Amino acid sequence: MKNDLSQEGVPVPPLHWCSEGCPLHAGSDAGDALEYNPNLLDDPQWPCGKHKRVLIFASYMTTVIEYVKPSDLKKDMNETFREKFPHVKLTLSKIRSLKREMRNLSEECSLEPVTVSMAYVYFEKLVLQGKLNKHNRKLCAGACVLLAAKISSDLRRSEVKQLIDKLEERFRFNRRDLIGFEFTVLVALELALYLPESQVLPHYRRLTQQF
């Protein structure tokens, strides 16, 4: 099997873990057309879905959310998300679960909130472009944390090794796969690792309220 090539002719590791057998950077036309919104996946309105009722009165408007079992709420949230973004192969609850894992690992490794925020942006961009699936999601999450740490922090070699050890332990993948996937994610992001403040700041604000 031949390696796929980027536009510059640099070989990209074949992604044998993708269910479709296609490289991560192949993407989705529907996803590529989306403009990244850092508030989209953390929008508190997602869990409300069909259980939210808006009451409009003469002088004010209020929202009433009926009680729903957590399992039903989760199911409805995922269905609503899938209807709006059919090209995304992961459920919204799984996406949020992976982000929690990224945050928890970053806390263990004493990474700054700005680093986690950058990792979130990388990860969400790939999610919303439809480039992730159940086979590559953990490798992508790990690679996004690793890239963000290298860009935003002045890590020593020993600290990079420690971070890779933690990533390997938490996400249960082989470090060789992680290192190979790191370059694939870099290509998928079109080398755009330096992010505008408008994309990072919303995540940073939410994280600093949680740390």
Q: How far apart are CA 109 and CA 32, in angstroms?
A: 33
Q: How far apart are CA 186 and CA 178, in angstroms?
A: 12
Q: Say yes or no to pLDDT of 161 above 60.
A: yes
What is the reported pLDDT for 74?
A: 85
Secondary structure of residue 64 in the 3-state scheme: strand
What's the whole-model pTM score?
0.77
Q: How far apart are CA 148 and CA 122, in angstroms?
A: 8
What pLDDT digit, counting tens, does each position of 145-159 carry?
999 999 988 888 888
pLDDT-based confidence at 209, cuts 50/70/90?
confident
| Cβ(187)–Cβ(12) below 8 Å | yes
Q: How far apart are CA 125 and CA 32, in angstroms?
A: 9
Q: What does the H/E/C string look like for 131-163? A: CCCCCCHHHHHHHHHHHHHHHHCCCCHHHHHHH
Show the domains of the chain with their CATH numbers.
Answer: 44-84 (no CATH), 88-211 (1.10.472.10)
pLDDT-based confidence at 113, cuts 50/70/90?
very high
What is the reported pLDDT for 66?
A: 65
What pLDDT digit, counting tens, does each position of 165-186 carry?
999 999 989 889 999 899 999 9
Q: How far apart are CA 1 and CA 8, in angstroms?
A: 20
Q: How far apart are CA 209 and CA 211, in angstroms?
A: 6
9: left (phi over 0), alpha (psi -120 to 50) or beta: left
What pLDDT digit, counting tens, does each position of 31-52 carry?
555 689 999 988 766 655 565 6
What average pLDDT score do residues 65-93 get?
84
What is the reported pLDDT for 146?
A: 94
Q: How far apart are CA 96 and CA 120, in angstroms?
A: 10
